[in-house]
């Protein structure tokens, strides 16, 4: 009976989206209620799954009762449940801004958001590579629609590039999948993990080529340098709530890489294949962190700065996957959760502080000029006249900056510490990543200070009217991060168990292929 839980997170948003399309424009209240119910239901499913897989069980749902080698399977272990929970929580937290702000007629925003959730959940649950492709396409197709919501010239221009690069990545995905199929004759992940050590030496290179091409497709989504230049522009051009939801989409690429690299190319894959690609991930992740920090320091638009924050976070994660030890992975998962929530909040804050309208450009930060006066506001100038909403924004910005930079005492620091501490003593390359992530934190602090000074301390920044829904969403997201600070211990234990489970692929294989 438990196994049927796995179909829920995919079917529920599908049904909700279909019903919302049927309800259409005239009964918008009902459609909104349906969306809210679906998000609540997803949270319920995720919590129920978490309760079941929390003790280390791996759940398998065989569609139609076919054995895994022939049929389609959905698999949930601790990592899948964690990602489902993160997605559901993010969707729920973004409900106020979606419901409160976007009531323009003619927008299919809500059904598209539900399809996006369906694609995300499917990606986290699927047990074979081809359905991974299908769910990827579902979530990408929904994301195209969301990114182009209420189109303007800028948005369409950025969307054009976004779609083109993702279509190309999908084609690479197909090439990789078919190469792997050609070598092994199966696409089921568990069966692949069994077959990889037995692949004959003369076709192993082909298998590696297929895996590498597949990896490139995911690295485009995870925005690794030099495949990630599309990200800041596309995310900055998208509506802020959509960009906040997209914060979890780069993590999809990271999730798949984590899953596949440990399942197919873990320690049990034989001497020729174990650890395949980890060096690329490590150095690519390091380059991504460097690019992200440089971009953050140079960015003049807040939403683009948030986009570079995404790069820093996914770069750190990719590097950590490249190192690949259980303790590092546990820390990386903690960092994944906190940085996703914090980046989502920051995208919303960027939308509140410097919104992009169709008519006018978003206000820009001043150009970077170390000798100029722009960086130095008068210190003794007090502004008791700042209205309460601005002070609220400033408080939210401060918390988000602390979380993103990983400064104590908030959960951003705890997560970053959990990621960094095991890197010490894991070899010279890991030390390089350690130094780079610490330097990245410093760069984040500098960039955030620059924004804070120019936006909140100088009196010529024009604040747009505050949207209550967006403020509520930011409050929920930051509140969750604060809650994680207090809870600290129990989630960390779960994440350590998750990392241990990922490093023991036999458990996964044995359940899927009994």
Q: Return residues touching another protein (CB under 8 A).
A: 130, 133-134, 137, 140-141, 144, 148, 151-153, 156-157, 159-161, 163-164, 167-168, 170-171, 174-175, 177-179, 181-182, 187
Nearer to another protein, 171 or 439 (CB): 171
How far apart, in whole angstroms, are the C-alpha atoms of residue 293 and residue 296?
5
How far apart, in whole angstroms, are the C-alpha atoms of residue 99 and residue 32?
7
> In the bound complex, what is the minimum distance in angstroms from residue 157's beta carbon to another protein?
5
Q: Angle formed by the axes of helices 302-323 and 428-452, to 10°?
A: 170
Q: How far is CA 436 from CA 18, 225, 440, in A?
A: 46, 15, 6
> In the bound complex, what is the minimum distance in angstroms from residue 291's beta carbon to another protein?
21
Q: What one-character-per-residue DSSP string does 246-300 give?
A: HTTHHHHHHHHHHHHHHHHSSGGG-TTTTTTTHHHHHHHHHHHHHHHHHHHHH--
Q: Are 340 and 86 in contact (CB under 8 A)?
A: yes
Length of the chain: 514
Instruction: Please list the residues that pair with 62 across neighbouring strands.
Output: 73
Q: What one-character-per-residue DSSP string does 371-417 give?
A: TSSTT---TT---TT--HHHHHHHHHHHHHHHHHHT-TTSHHHHHHH
How far apart, in whole angstroms, are the C-alpha atoms of residue 84 and residue 251?
12
Nearer to another protein, 159 or 253 (CB): 159
Nearer to another protein, 156 or 439 (CB): 156
Nearer to another protein, 209 or 390 (CB): 209
> In the bound complex, what is the minimum distance in angstroms from residue 216's beta carbon to another protein?
14
How far apart, in whole angstroms, are the C-alpha atoms of residue 65 and residue 207?
30
Nearer to another protein, 161 or 503 (CB): 161
> In the bound complex, what is the minimum distance in angstroms from residue 67's beta carbon to another protein?
15
> In the bound complex, what is the minimum distance in angstroms from residue 376's beta carbon to another protein?
37
- The sign of the dihedral angle between the CA atoms of 18, 20, 22, 24 is negative
Nearer to another protein, 128 or 301 (CB): 128
The HSE-up count of residue 81 (CA atoms within 13 Å, CB side) is: 28
> In the bound complex, what is the minimum distance in angstroms from residue 119's beta carbon to another protein?
12
Nearer to another protein, 108 or 377 (CB): 108
> In the bound complex, what is the minimum distance in angstroms from residue 130's beta carbon to another protein?
6
Nearer to another protein, 63 or 156 (CB): 156
> In the bound complex, what is the minimum distance in angstroms from residue 126's beta carbon to another protein?
14
């Amino acid at each position: 009976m438990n196994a049927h839980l796995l179909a829920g997170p995919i079917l529920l948003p599908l049904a909700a989206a279909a019903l919302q399309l049927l309800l259409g424009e005239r009964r918008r209240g009902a459609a909104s209620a349906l969306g809210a119910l679906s998000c609540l239901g997803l949270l319920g499913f995720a919590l129920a799954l978490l309760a079941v897989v929390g003790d280390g069980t791996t759940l398998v749902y065989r569609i139609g009762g076919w054995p895994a080698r022939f049929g389609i399977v959905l698999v949930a272990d601790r990592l899948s449940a964690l990602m489902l929970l993160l997605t559901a929580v993010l969707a729920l937290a973004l409900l106020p801004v979606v419901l409160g702000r976007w009531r323009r007629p003619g927008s299919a925003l809500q059904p598209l958001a539900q399809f996006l959730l369906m694609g995300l959940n499917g990606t986290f649950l699927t047990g074979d590579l081809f359905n991974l492709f299908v769910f990827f396409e579902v979530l990408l197709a929904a994301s195209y629609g969301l990114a182009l919501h209420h189109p303007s010239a800028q948005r369409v221009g950025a969307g054009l590039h976004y779609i083109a690069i993702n279509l190309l990545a999908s084609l690479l995905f197909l090439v990789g999948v078919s190469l792997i199929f050609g070598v092994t004759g199966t696409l089921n992940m568990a069966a692949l993990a069994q077959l990889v050590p037995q692949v004959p030496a003369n076709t192993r290179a082909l298998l590696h080529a297929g895996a590498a091409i597949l990896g490139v497709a995911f690295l485009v989504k995870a925005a690794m340098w030099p495949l990630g230049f599309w990200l800041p522009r596309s995310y900055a051009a998208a509506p802020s709530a959509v960009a906040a939801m997209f914060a979890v989409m780069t993590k999809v690429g990271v999730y798949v890489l984590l899953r596949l690299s440990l399942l197919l190319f873990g320690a049990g894959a034989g001497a020729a294949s174990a650890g395949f690609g980890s060096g690329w991930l490590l150095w690519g992740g390091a380059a991504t962190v460097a690019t992200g920090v440089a971009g953050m320091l140079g960015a003049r638009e807040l939403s683009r700065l948030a986009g570079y924050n995404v790069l820093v976070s996914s770069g750190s994660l990719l590097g950590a996957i490249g190192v690949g030890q259980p303790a590092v992975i546990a820390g990386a998962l903690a960092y994944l959760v906190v940085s996703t929530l914090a980046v989502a909040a920051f995208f919303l804050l960027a939308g509140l502080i410097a919104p992009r309208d169709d008519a006018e450009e978003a206000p820009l930060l001043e150009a970077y000029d170390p000798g100029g006066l722009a960086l130095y506001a008068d210190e003794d100038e007090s502004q008791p006249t700042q209205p309460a909403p601005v002070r609220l924004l400033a408080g939210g910005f401060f918390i988000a900056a602390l979380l993103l930079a990983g400064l104590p005492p908030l959960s951003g620091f705890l997560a970053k510490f959990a990621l960094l501490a095991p890197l010490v003593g894991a070899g010279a390359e890991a030390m390089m990543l350690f130094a780079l992530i610490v330097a990245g934190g410093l760069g984040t602090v500098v960039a955030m200070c620059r924004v804070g000074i120019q936006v909140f301390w100088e009196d010529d920044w024009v604040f747009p009217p505050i949207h209550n829904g967006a403020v509520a969403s930011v409050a929920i997201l930051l509140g969750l991060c604060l809650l994680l600070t207090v809870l600290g211990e129990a989630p960390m234990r779960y994440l350590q168990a998750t990392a241990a489970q990922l490093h023991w692929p036999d458990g996964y294989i044995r359940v899927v292929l009994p």
